[in-house]
């Protein structure tokens, strides 16, 4: 079945009020005629208000967030709730990014709880999974990805993946300039889809599986030729409107 691609920019810990306005204006100009690809940006939560204001009046670019917490209100210093994200019009919410797993010790189970909280709130989880370089060299890539997905499958059921996004991001490819090859990524994406298909073919057929890890304006088109690569989660190259636009348009063209 045809899946509508999603290209999402993860700005990580970058930007300012002025940068946010400037980049969003640039993206609006570059992407105004895009029809065949969903597009989202995840600025730092500090700048969701600026991004929401700058995105007003257009429907090509959706707003997202890089994280969410579990509680709705109360004495939880520093936390961000699903309702707060909805208040800013955020839709696509990244969870389980390897930087959160590594630097904030987020476990598979904790990430699965966040997945459930997002589904309950009517938001779209963008579940990041992926192996370290060592796990890759030890041939454990599929095992690691399946374990990270199983944390959701086994607690929320396969139907939770209806309308959700998976982002396969090999950790060794993030920010290194060393992307997985299209063939390497396709093999893992297919194994992820097959793993979900073992529970439900229908759910597997519709789930968007993005690739992330050094995607740029030069390598995106080749990645998108692969049948199970349904878009990209882009870090560094999402900070430049022209490079990000090339990636979006490559997805639109490849999946037309």
Least distance (Å) from ligand G3H to the CB of residue 178?
9
Q: Yes or no: say if 68 and 80 are a contact pair by the CB < 8 Å rule.
A: yes
* Closest by CA position to 17, among listed 55, 56, 43: 43
Indicate if 104 belongs to the active site: no
**Closer Cβ to ligand G3H, 120 or 133, answer by number:** 133
Give the interface with ligand G3H as residue ranges (CB under 6 A): 10, 97, 169, 174-175, 212-215, 233-237
Q: Which of 30, 50, 97, 131 is catalytic?
A: 97
Indicate if 189 belongs to the active site: no
Tokens 């459930």 correspond to 116
Q: Which segments of the chain does DSSP mark as H helices, in order? A: 17-31, 48-55, 82-87, 98-103, 108-121, 133-137, 141-156, 182-197, 201-206, 220-224, 241-254
Q: Closest CB to ligand G3H belongs to which residue?
A: 235
**Closer Cβ to ligand G3H, 203 or 211, answer by number:** 211
Q: Is 67 annotated as a binding residue?
A: no
Q: Is 236 annotated as a binding residue?
A: yes
Tokens 């998976």 correspond to 166
**Closer Cβ to ligand G3H, 123 or 170, answer by number:** 170
Q: Is 10 annotated as a binding residue?
A: yes
Give ∠ CA 112-171-99 in degrees, rounded to 5. 55
Least distance (Å) from ligand G3H to the CB of residue 233?
4
Give ∠ CA 227-175-249 in degrees, rounded to 5. 40
Q: Which of 50, 99, 169, 252 is catalytic?
A: 169
**Closer Cβ to ligand G3H, 94 or 158, answer by number:** 94
Q: Which residues are annotated as a binding site for substrate?
A: 10-12, 175, 214, 235-236
Question: Where in the sequence numbering do the catalytic residues fall?
Answer: 97, 169
């Amino acid at each position: 079945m045809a899946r509508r691609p999603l290209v999402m920019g993860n700005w990580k810990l970058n930007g300012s009020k002025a940068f946010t306005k400037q980049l969003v204006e640039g993206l609006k100009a570059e992407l105004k005629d895009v029809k065949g690809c969903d597009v989202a940006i995840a600025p730092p939560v500090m700048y969701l208000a600026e991004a929401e204001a700058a995105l007003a009046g257009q429907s090509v670019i959706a707003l997202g967030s890089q994280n969410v917490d579990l509680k709705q209100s109360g004495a939880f210093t520093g936390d961000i709730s699903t309702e707060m994200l909805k208040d800013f019009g955020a839709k696509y919410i990244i969870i389980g990014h390897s930087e959160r797993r590594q630097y904030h010790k987020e476990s598979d189970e904790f990430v699965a709880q966040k997945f459930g909280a997002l589904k309950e709130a009517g938001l779209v989880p963008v579940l990041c999974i992926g192996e370290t370089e060592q796990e890759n060299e030890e041939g454990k890539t599929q095992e690691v990805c399946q374990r990270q997905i199983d944390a959701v499958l086994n607690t929320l059921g396969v139907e939770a993946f209806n309308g959700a996004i998976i982002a396969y991001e090999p950790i060794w490819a993030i920010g290194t300039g060393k992307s997985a090859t299209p063939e390497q990524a396709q093999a893992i994406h297919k194994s992820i889809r097959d793993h979900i298909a073992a529970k439900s073919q229908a759910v597997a057929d519709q789930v968007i599986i993005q690739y992330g890890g050094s995607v740029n304006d030069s390598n995106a088109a080749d990645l998108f030729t692969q049948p199970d690569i349904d878009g990209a989660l882009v870090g560094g190259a999402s900070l430049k409107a022209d490079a990000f636009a090339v990636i979006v348009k490559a997805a639109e063209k490849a999946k037309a």
